Structure 1
Amino acid sequence: MTDDGAPLLSRTEIGGCVAFALLVTIASMILLPPAASLATGVLALFMALITLTDLRHFIIPDLLSLPAVPLGALANIAVFHGEDWMAGLSESLLGAVLAAGTFYLLRALWFHLRSVEGLGLGDVKLAAVAGAWLGPGLLAPACLASALSGLLAVLLLAVRPGRRIGLGDEVPFGSFIAPVILLTWGWRILDAVPFW
């Protein structure tokens, strides 16, 4: 809900996110085992909702980010560590703590240097989601891809006629992180699943 009590997304927008997640789930059933398809569909739903909400309102609701962390641990166990659930849980927890801790330190450092909030706490929590789903091994490429896609979007906006970007302008960074989490998860699965 927004400050005035209105919903963050319309029913049409939520329906579009659900339709996208169903499409991703159905498409992934062609290549992936059932657990991987279901996990991918769940992640697609959460990432679509987060992307759209952050684009519209510059927030990442806890209602979306916080449940996605334990769901990421469950998905990691089910898809990659079925024989050793403790290894999957450890990998997810390490990834979540490493990602959230790094983003929090960046946030604190930027605030200390500039007295301006550069990253919101929603971005920190979304980093924990990335760590839980991707584990520590894929965090660096996911963060790099998110940062580069955000930078490219800002550059494209900066050169657009009639639009100028200033240093004080906000960028919905979660809208760049969330799709990269989904794509990196897909890459991780396709790399690990034997097709022959």
Structure 2
Amino acid sequence: MKSTYIVLAIAIPVMIASAWLLAAPGTILLSLSLGALLIALSAIDIATLRLPDALTFTVLLFGAIMVALTRPDLWLHHLLGAGIGYVALVGLELAYKRLRGRDGLGRGDAKLLGAIGMWVAWPGLAPVLLVASVSGLLGAVAASLFGKRSLSGETPMAFGPWIALGGWVVWLAAPHMALVPLD
């Protein structure tokens, strides 16, 4: 519990500063809303291994508002991002369960990637998953090395925080990476 407060004490100011410095013009309030929702979802997932649908849906809803206000001509790219993000992780979830005979990924992770896909559009999904996978792997290895958790294929681990981190990084970096034209 104490470590959660430490993480929040670091994450909140970093989120505010990075949004202030890197958010695309006209998106600061929406970016701060996204950041707050991603931090809340991450904290809940770490504590419960669950991602509440209400918060995930709010990420999706705010993403739709962002598209409507800042890039209405790119609806198709953002809707595809939401759909492909969700379907890709549901497919991975089902394939893993079929191959291994047990759950390996939660449906909440798929819903979160779909909601983030609304923000970053379909070209942003691969970078989100790259950041999420690499940071999640590094986090698991670090937790194992520092004695917080044993590292095995049976150890449950929240993936939502890493998807949230990937979504945040790509959302802020997208205007500088030209993933989707902004004009």
Taking structure 2 as the reference length, the TM-score comes to 0.82
Does the C-alpha gap of structure 1 residues 171 and 73 become closer, same or farther in structure 2, counting only changes over 3 Å? Answer: same
Does the C-alpha gap of structure 1 residues 155 and 128 become closer, same or farther in structure 2, counting only changes over 3 Å? Answer: same
Deviations 1:74-110 (A, max 9, x none): 213323x2xxx2x332221100111100000000000
Instruction: Name the structure 2 match of 1:100.
Output: 86
Q: Structure 2: how far apart are the matches of 1:148 and 1:102? A: 18
Does the C-alpha gap of structure 1 residues 126 and 31 become closer, same or farther in structure 2, counting only changes over 3 Å? Answer: closer
Does the C-alpha gap of structure 1 residues 78 and 96 become closer, same or farther in structure 2, counting only changes over 3 Å? Answer: same
Structure 2 counterpart of 1:45, one-letter code: A
| Correspondence 1:51-130 to 2 at 5 A | 51-79=42-70, 81=71, 85=72, 87-130=73-116
> Following TM superposition, by how much is the alpha carbon of 1:189 offset from its aligned partner in structure 2, in angstroms?
3.5
Q: Structure 1: how far apart are the matches of 2:22 and 2:120? A: 22
Does the C-alpha gap of structure 1 residues 140 and 163 become closer, same or farther in structure 2, counting only changes over 3 Å? Answer: closer
Structure 1 counterpart of 2:128, one-letter code: A
Does the C-alpha gap of structure 1 residues 27 and 98 become closer, same or farther in structure 2, counting only changes over 3 Å? Answer: closer
Structure 2 unaligned runs (5+)? 179-183
Instruction: Name the structure 2 match of 1:5.
Output: none
Larger Rg: 1
1:157 aligns with 2:143: yes
Structure 1 unaligned runs (5+)? 1-8
Does the C-alpha gap of structure 1 residues 150 and 75 become closer, same or farther in structure 2, counting only changes over 3 Å? Answer: same
User: Identity rate of aligned residues, in percent?
Assistant: 24
Report the secondary structure of 1:43's partner residue: helix
> Following TM superposition, by how much is the alpha carbon of 1:25 offset from its aligned partner in structure 2, in angstroms?
7.6
Counterpart of 2:12 (choices 20, 27, 32) is 20
Instruction: Name the structure 2 match of 1:131.
Output: 117
Report the secondary structure of 2:158's partner residue: coil
Count of residues paired in the alignment: 173
Structure 2 counterpart of 1:169, one-letter code: T
Structure 1 counterpart of 2:47, one-letter code: R
